[in-house]
């Protein structure tokens, strides 16, 4: 009977988790909260509305993992993977960074050129 209750709890917890997908790499992001102030980590205020999950590797509610956000230019959902987005005062998908390259500082432009030459 205890196993059945535990199974129901796990199923209920899975149903409560939210999902979205990075439009560039198609990774499915399973998150616990989207916003700037995760309710399970009251001491944290993020600089962007982000898709956040509780850190499964920390005890209690000690940590969070930022999984992604929306591009501040096009509004598409992007993960934080280095091939999908970058954070420079706000989150940007790499296609928007490339399209607006002239608006970014030299360091960001150089980083984008390095990424392009390594692929």
Tokens of residue 19, six digits: 């999902």
pTM over 0.75: yes
Whole-number pLDDT of residue 15: 53
C-alpha span between 91 and 80 (Å, rounded):
9
| One-character DSSP codes across 28-90 | EEEESEEESS-TT-TT---SS-EEEEE-TTSSTT--EEEEEEE-TTT--EEES-TTTEEEESE
pLDDT tens per residue across span 54-65: 998 887 767 899
pLDDT tens per residue across span 2-39: 455 444 444 445 556 799 999 999 999 999 999 999 99
């Amino acid at each position: 009977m205890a196993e059945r209750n535990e199974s129901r709890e796990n199923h209920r917890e899975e149903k409560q988790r939210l999902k979205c997908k990075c439009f560039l790499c198609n990774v499915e992001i399973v998150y616990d909260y989207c916003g700037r102030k995760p309710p399970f980590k009251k001491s944290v205020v993020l600089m962007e509305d982000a898709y956040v999950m509780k850190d499964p590797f920390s005890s209690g509610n000690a940590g969070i993992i930022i999984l992604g956000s929306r591009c501040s230019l096009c509004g598409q959902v992007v993960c934080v993977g280095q091939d999908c987005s970058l954070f420079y005062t706000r989150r940007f998908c790499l296609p928007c960074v490339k399209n607006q390259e002239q608006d970014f500082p030299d360091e960001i432009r150089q980083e984008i050129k390095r990424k392009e030459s390594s692929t």
